[in-house]
Amino acid sequence: MSQLLNRRLALLSERANLTLLEQCLHGIERECLRVTGDARLAQTPHPEELGSALTNDQITTDYSESLLEFITPALPDPADTLASLDKIHRFAYSKLGNEFLWSPSMPCPLPAEADIPIAYYGTSNIGQLKYVYRKGLALRYGKTMQCIAGIHYNFSLPEALWPVLKEADGFVGTDRDYQSSAYIALIRNFRRYNWLLMYLFGASPALDAGFLRGRAHQLEQLDADTLYLPYATSLRMSDLGYQSNAQAGLTPCYNDLNSYTDSLRKAVATPYAPYVEIGTHQDGEWVQLNTNILQIENEYYSNIRPKRVTYSGERPIQALVARGVQYVEVRLLDINPFLPVGIDLPEARFLDAFLLYCALQESPQFNSQECSSCTSNFMSVVKEGRRPGLQLQRDGEAVDMKAWAGELLEQIAPLAALLDQRHGGDAHSKALDEQLAKIKDVSLTPSAKVLASMVERKESFAQFSMRQSQTHAEYFRSEALSPEDQAAFEEKVRTSLLEQTEIEQTEEGDFDLFVASYQASILAISN
């Protein structure tokens, strides 16, 4: 364990600072497809009974009209965050009729590309912008890939903690600069060690054979309808998932906030020849927002993002440049198909200890060799994480994955103990023990359990997933929300629909001008 980590642990163990750890915030976003009873993509519009996808801050859509996204508030106790997520699911199920929420990350058997509906957000300029952006995603990456679902875990350390660490580090500069640089350091460590999360929580070792649309691949056949890799942990996070030639040169290595925002700003302003060839319009209709590497900064696909809550009309990069990093969004988590909401409390508790470790451990800047070995380690584990004797690269040398994983858990243990010291009990340490068991016994990993269940029951990927979806539906439908909670959701639905109508009725200015000023807003940012 590094001297810096030891010093920071001692500092946080002091009574005055220990209470700060209660103020960490946790938010979860869970995406899931709506499907029919025969495991097909629901072709119905986003249910109006769930409110406006444009203005309901808890229930919206992601890429497709069929791809729901549930968003919790950011809360100090992850148990409350998960309870909030559970309630959103229960409310959704009270409105879904005979449809189901698909249990895993990889999609159900999909219709033809043309029949996958893009999410629609109404006639307002911002609604149309969201719709055209998604048309651009369809054009650039295909609709199939956009139907993959995941869980995003939003995490922040307490604002009051940063000045304490800043003083101890003797940092020269503003509190805001220190906080941003500390979050970027967390992200660098996350990139070093994120392969561990894929081993522990990856849950997509197989997929429906139709997903690849006849593309060449190196997967094996599990049965007539299912493709898989025998040692894979997360095909969702492999190169079968989100691929982009345009983004290939875009690898911000997170050495500081300015270089990160700069690289994204350039990508949003730099033309990409194949997109230029298509243009922004076809037959007088918008087909993409621009012809640049990225249409907007959120198109950049990374498994963790520095974030800042935005003001109305503000772009994510503008918020980061103006006010610095406020929290991180962890984007690599698969949905665990055995869990009703796709994630549970031990996973959240472990993530907290892991992210705290990434924040407090020494985090030297990347050189290009380390940057590429982070990427290759991650790819090795998503495709072959359960292969006996798998080797990863560390400091230019091969190292046994399981030995390294054991070492990491040993180093994370004091952070789990620190969290337990503050919260009382031993929930974080138990969560860590649960992960240690998976390292010792590969059959305990979610990816191994998915394959074992399919093989044992002789089920295809779609049959397994549908059975899990039905089990979860029964769980949510068996116990209704309290009348108060149901009423609160109904009120949110009503006000969100009114808000959308108001935006549409009071808006001035045409869409072309709106897009032009939106594009100009990012070019106006100067670091």
- The predicted pLDDT at position 507 comes to 93
**Number of C-beta neighbours around residue 25 at 10 A:** 19
- The predicted pLDDT at position 527 comes to 43
Percent of the chain residues past pLDDT 90, beyond the cut = 88
Interval 293-318: pLDDT, tens: 999 999 998 899 999 999 987 899 99
Instruction: Tell me the C-alpha distance between 180 and 176, whole Å.
Output: 6
Instruction: Tell me the C-alpha distance between 130 and 465, whole Å.
Output: 30
Instruction: Tell me the C-alpha distance between 53 and 47, whole Å.
Output: 9
- The predicted pLDDT at position 255 comes to 86
Interval 30-73: pLDDT, tens: 999 999 999 999 999 999 999 999 999 999 999 999 999 999 99
Tell me what the mean pLDDT of segment 114-137 comes to: 97
| Residue of 251 and 284 predicted with greater confidence | 284
Structure tokens at 426: 């031993």
Asked whether 442 and 436 are in contact (CB, 8 A), the reply is no
Instruction: Tell me the C-alpha distance between 219 and 382, whole Å.
Output: 13
User: CA 128, 149, 497: angle at the middle one, nearest 5?
Assistant: 40
Distances in whole angstroms, Cα of residue 119 to Cα of each of 77, 146, 374, 502, 504: 32, 11, 34, 20, 17
- The predicted pLDDT at position 75 comes to 98
Instruction: Tell me the C-alpha distance between 332 and 385, whole Å.
Output: 15
- The predicted pLDDT at position 241 comes to 59
The 3-state DSSP class for residue 136 equals helix
pTM score > 0.95 for this model? yes
Interval 499-515: pLDDT, tens: 999 999 999 899 999 99
Instruction: Tell me the C-alpha distance between 409 and 400, whole Å.
Output: 15
Interval 466-478: pLDDT, tens: 999 999 999 999 9
**Within 13 Å and on the Cβ side, how many CA atoms surround 476?**
26
**Nearby residues of 322 by Cβ (< 8 Å), 6 or more positions away:** none
Average pLDDT score over the chain: 95
Least confident of 74-78, 243-247, 401-405, 489-493: 243-247
- DSSP per-residue letters across 310-369: PPTT--HHHHHHHH---EEEEEEEPP-TTSTTS--HHHHHHHHHHHHHHHHS--PPPPHH
Count: domains in the chain: 1
Range of the domain at 413: 3-524
Tell me what the mean pLDDT of segment 78-86 comes to: 98
Tell me what the mean pLDDT of segment 98-111 comes to: 98
Displacement of CA 153 from its chain's centroid (Å) = 6
| Residue of 509 and 465 predicted with greater confidence | 465
CATH number of the domain that 230 lies in? 3.30.590.20
Structure tokens at 142: 């295909």
Interval 332-358: pLDDT, tens: 999 999 999 999 999 999 999 999 999
- Residue 63, phi then psi, degrees to nearest 5: -85, -50
**Nearby residues of 491 by Cβ (< 8 Å), 6 or more positions away:** none
